[in-house]
Amino acid sequence: MNKEIKFCLVYRDMWQSSGKYVPRVDQLKKIAPVIVGMGCFDRVETNGGAFEQVNLLYGENPNAAVREWVKPFNEAGVKTLMLERALNGLRMYPVPADVRELMFKVKKAQGVDIARSFCGLNDYRNLELSVKYAKKAGMISQGALSITYSDIHTVDYYMEIVDKLVEFGTDEIGLKDMAGIGRPVMLGKLTKAIKDKYPHIVVEYHGHSGPGFSVASMLEVCKNGADIIDVAMEPLSWGMVHPDVITIQAMLKDAGFKVPEINMNAYMEARRLTQEFMDDFLGWFIDPKNKISTSLLVGSGLPGGMMGSMMADLKGVNSGINTFLKNAGKKTMSEDDLLVALFEEVEYVWPKVGNPPLVTPYSQYVKNIALMNIMQMAQNKPRYSQMDKNMWDMILGKTGKLPGKVAPEVVELAREKGYEFFEGTPQDNYPDELPKYREMMKENGWEMGQDDEELFELAMHERQYIDYKSGAAKRNFEKEVENAMKTACTTVVKEIKSPELRKEEELERVIEKHPDAKPVTATVSGTVIWELSVTEPSMNPPIGTSYKEGDTVCFISAYYGNEEIKALYDGKLVLALAKQNDKVKKGDVVAFIE
């Protein structure tokens, strides 16, 4: 009998890899029975990652959203799958162990069947608690490998992690090829090695289509024993997302595998609904470039889902870099020049900082180091002279063991700054915090929620949960949608100077007047807030405001909450280039300090 291959629809990841937001709960409830009606999915990725943070930003209760979204799949016998980041849980920074344990209890109670757990550094110590907590809660545990391509990331390297995951008790192994740069033959060999040693272990492959390898990879892993393949569907398939179920089903059927049939009437209805959601408002937050694959990602190894935000980053910093270059009498760079320079810098930097797999959040850290290096070198400054705490925590081993060795020059720079490298278990750095959050719930008169789910939400996403409870999140989201709609409906008159050109001229003037001024740059994309206030609009700071190194200059409201933008040096404000509520991209110059 031909081997059976099952399909998983990564509906959450389809949206996360395309743009900023996922559908609202009313939209998800609308499409769920249609997805069931397609009849070809053994499982659906319903939540995890940034899903619940987005609910909070909408002003929705994320716990109600998860329960209502997964219910139709539970009733139809379609398994539901969540993505979680091991030490980082459902956010971008470490989570205490007691909060991690509560997460699995809550998600199981809400109807989520499978926990796909990955560590961005492939540190099995970070994955151990995820496997054990998932099993304890009654969930299926899928320990995922963050796939990347280098001399270090071999079959033997990955099998050492698999051995540990099996020892911990994982039920499944996920091959999380987040950038789609895993080479097909190598992935086939890895799948065979897993199946030969652990024939009872289910293997699921997840590959983004960005650089173009993933279709061949899917065929190779299936030939070597994979059981489940992650797929997408139109209008969000391909580009930087995932291959479409129709193509993969046809390919595998022709190769002799037993695959489920697709109800095409239901497929077309799900396709129509997804487009309807995009036309509603979600499409305003999707970069059109994310619909395009590019082989340029092969060299840098960056995830395709970053391509849209990365191009926005480059637009934001291009004028600033060119201003520095012109001021130094050097040749300016086009966006294409800068893109090539960034990819080359990522290739240079990646092994210098220990070859972390380029997956959230470490892909962002490596890309940011590379981008900041380019900015610094344009000003005749050395590499690594502008790195934030998160980047250093990765390099110092505070979030896990790096696969490779940190370069001597980076080690020396850490010593000069008085930093110490950490070799202990990362979780030990983050003590339990649930008692603190229980007290906070009592002080505010908030209910702990069914199965303590509201307590969990506060503990996992404190800033966003507080904004949700106050109503600030919903107000901010409605304002963002209003602004996005205005932007989408505005006809730009060519004779009027673009905001980018006006900003470039302003940059030139400040550098001419203040040659020693240093830029304060955005570390994330979002909305600039010069002073946090829920009830009243804030004003820009007065010119001449003094800052010490480490002082908070402003905040940026990102999709996951407010990020502090700190001064990297002492000085006084000479220009606030970004005004209150301005939209900025990661890498944009927000202000100048002299």
Instruction: Give me the sign of the Cα torsion angle 41, 65, 560, 460.
Output: negative
Q: What mean pLDDT comes out for the span 366-372?
A: 86
580, 585, 587, 588: CA torsion to nearest 10: -40
Residue 536: the pLDDT is: 40
Tell whether the model's pLDDT for residue 559 goes beyond 80: no
Are the C-beta atoms of residues 391 and 444 closer than 8 Å to each other?
Answer: no
What are 86's two structure tokens?
């091991």
> In whole angstroms, what is the distance from residue 464 CA to residue 469 CA?
9
Of 557 and 259, the structure prediction assigns the larger pLDDT to 259
> In whole angstroms, what is the distance from residue 324 CA to residue 318 CA?
10
pLDDT tens-place string over residues 420-459:
999 899 999 899 999 999 999 999 999 999 999 999 999 9
Residue 243: the pLDDT is: 97
Q: Is 276 helix (H, G, I), strand (E, B) or coil?
A: helix
Residue 321: phi, psi to the nearest 5? -65, -45
Cα angle value 153/154/159 (rounded, 5°)? 105
> In whole angstroms, what is the distance from residue 55 CA to residue 65 CA?
7
Q: Is 126 helix (H, G, I), strand (E, B) or coil?
A: helix
232 secondary structure, DSSP code: B
**Report field, pTM of the whole predicted structure over 0.75:** yes
pLDDT tens-place string over residues 492-528:
333 334 455 455 555 666 666 666 777 888 888 888 8
Residue 509: the pLDDT is: 63
Q: What mean pLDDT comes out for the span 113-121?
A: 96
Q: What mean pLDDT comes out for the span 16-33?
A: 92
Tell whether the model's pLDDT for residue 308 goes beyond 60: no
Tell whether the model's pLDDT for residue 586 goes beyond 80: no
Please give the domain boundaries of the chain with CATH numbers for all domains: 6-283 (3.20.20.70), 434-489 (no CATH), 499-593 (2.40.50.100)
Residue 301: the pLDDT is: 73
Tell whether the model's pLDDT for residue 31 goes beyond 80: yes
Give strand pairing partners of 517. Answer: none
Q: Before 361, cis peptide (omega within 30)?
A: yes
Are the C-beta atoms of residues 362 and 121 closer than 8 Å to each other?
Answer: yes
Residue 377: the pLDDT is: 86
Q: What mean pLDDT comes out for the span 561-585?
A: 81
> In whole angstroms, what is the distance from residue 534 CA to residue 471 CA?
9
Give the helix ranges, DSSP H, for 379-529.
389-396, 408-416, 434-444, 453-460, 462-470, 472-489, 499-513
Residue 533: the pLDDT is: 44
Residue 542: the pLDDT is: 73
pLDDT tens-place string over residues 392-408:
889 999 999 999 999 99
Query: What type of residue sits at position 401?
Result: K
> How many C-alpha atoms does 243 have within 13 Å on its Cβ side?
25
Q: What is the chain's mean pLDDT, rounded?
A: 88
Q: Is 241 helix (H, G, I), strand (E, B) or coil?
A: coil
